[in-house]
Amino acid sequence: MTTAPQIVILCGGLSSEREVSLRSGKAVAEVLPGARLVELMTDALPDWLDAAQHVVFPVLHGGWGEDGRAQAELEARGIAFAGCASAANRLCMDKVATKQAMRAAGVPAIPEVAFAGAAKPTAAALVAALGEHLVIKPSDQGSSVGLYMLEGEAAVAKALAEIPASGQWMAERRLRGREMSIGLLDGRPMGLVEIVPLTGVYDYQTKYTKGASEYLFPAPIPAELTAAIGEAAARLFAACGCRDFARADVFLEPDGRFYFLEINTMPGMTATSLMPKSASCVGLDFPALVRRMAALALARATQPDRR
């Protein structure tokens, strides 16, 4: 009888989201008996990983673990792993490229101005293009990293002065309304989660602090609107070449229009994370969700043509 490969959970790494990654990794390990939890101290795969013995469940938020580089190394070594392949991770980490994919798939996306930190536009130019109520954020970092929520040209000018002369950035019109997120498992949408930050802004600190936000799941909106958002999320998942699982963030304005912000290929798996909340709406508790996520990679390990 063939022995099933061992699941190796990779977390940690050197990104700014290391601590969240560690928490996600520990939570996943608790519900996968026999899995090996590895806390990486560098941005490098362990030498001992073996395609014949191991299947990797990466929970590496940000940087090397989420921008496709870790996945490309796994692919080069023939090691099956959970989640999106390297090309989809690389695409989805780039918010500008993701929005281009959104538009190609007919998924609603708000206009943006992309710029390099070394070639910043003026505040006046951004306000003229997008209005006075803006969001500025890195275009290639996690969804809440380096986020500026701005009101008025003076605030925009101050934020631009603080932005380092490196990296890639983008500005968008600041949306007003309700922030939501939807998980996708094997390409199919799960439940819609509404996020109600008690501070009014869903930034990095609010996102990962217990009790800083309220979550309504399923989101209290009409069924036909939920279905429309789910269908658009599935199209975005396919358009970006995603596989296994992802989480899409969406904003619902008061007039009923919705806009997708991005799709996250490495969703958080902590106690405050959105993916488990979305799964609970379709009857999957946290252990069942994690087992389903792992099973997709295990299937590829035994069927190499599916990798």
Residue found under tokens 């390409």: 187
Q: How far apart are CA 76 and CA 56, in angstroms?
A: 14
Sequence-ordered strand ranges (E) for the chain: 6-12, 36-40, 54-58, 112-116, 133-138, 148-151, 168-173, 178-185, 188-197, 213-216, 245-252, 258-264
Nearest to 171 by CA among 142, 134, 143: 134
DSSP code string of 34-48:
T-EEEEESSSS--TT
Q: Are the C-beta atoms of 243 and 85 separated by less than 8 Å?
A: yes
For 87, other C-beta atoms within 10 Å of its C-beta total: 15
Q: Are the C-beta atoms of 144 and 202 separated by less than 8 Å?
A: yes
Sign of the alpha-carbon torsion through 275, 279, 280, 281: positive
Q: How far apart are CA 193 and CA 172, in angstroms?
A: 23
The catalytic site residues sit at 17, 143, 208, 247, 249, 262, 264, 268
Q: How far apart are CA 266 and CA 269, in angstroms?
A: 9
